[in-house]
Amino acid sequence: MAEVRTFDPTRHLSLINGNEYLEVKWRLVWLRTEHPDAHIDTELVSHQGSEAVFRAKVSLPDGGSATGWGSEDAQSFGDYLEKAETKAIGRALAALGFGTQFCTDFEFGAAHGRVVDSPVALHAIREDGTPERPRAASGLAATEKQRGLIQSLGRDARLDLDSLNQIAQEQTGRTLDELSRKDASTLIDFLQERRKARAS
């Protein structure tokens, strides 16, 4: 009897602007876990000036397929060619169900922020079109590494996003989106101590 391969996307979610997001790399792992023989074709459809448009087609062995499109420019990303290709692949995978529930593109909310992959922070857009950065209590905003650790500790504690956000507010007076590096460190310490207490 063939071994059944499973992938748990909830173990790999990133927290971006208060929303859970599954990075494209994890959507690819999910695809390869369940369909190792799936086929991915990408094509650079247009490259004019400093803007690129990619098309990606993902085909499953059982005949299912989806096409995704992605465009980026040099003003947004130095590596805009790679980002455009990644976006196209991510959208094709999401259209097949690999991460659709964690993909803002399929909520038609992209006007409020931009997500391509993990290096990109999703922020609100001000009326003048400029990105609004998350507020921090003091100092620099929490790093992606800190946010990832907070999310991981939250999953280990079986905390949903609302519960984790509530703990952040209780411990720091700030929401997860507003954490400074110092706030994030305080929250991480609290969650680690809580994990130690549960283990003892």
Q: What's the pTM?
A: 0.52
* Per-residue pLDDT, 45: 94
Structural tokens at position 93? 């995978």
The whole-angstrom separation of Cα 148 and Cα 115 is 16
Domains detected in the chain: 10-132 (3.30.160), 144-195 (no CATH)
Per-10-residue mean pLDDT for the chain, 200 residues long? 67 72 87 92 92 94 89 86 92 84 48 44 46 48 82 85 86 85 87 83
Phi, psi of 12 (to 5 degrees): -125, 20
The whole-angstrom separation of Cα 142 and Cα 160 is 20
* Per-residue pLDDT, 172: 86
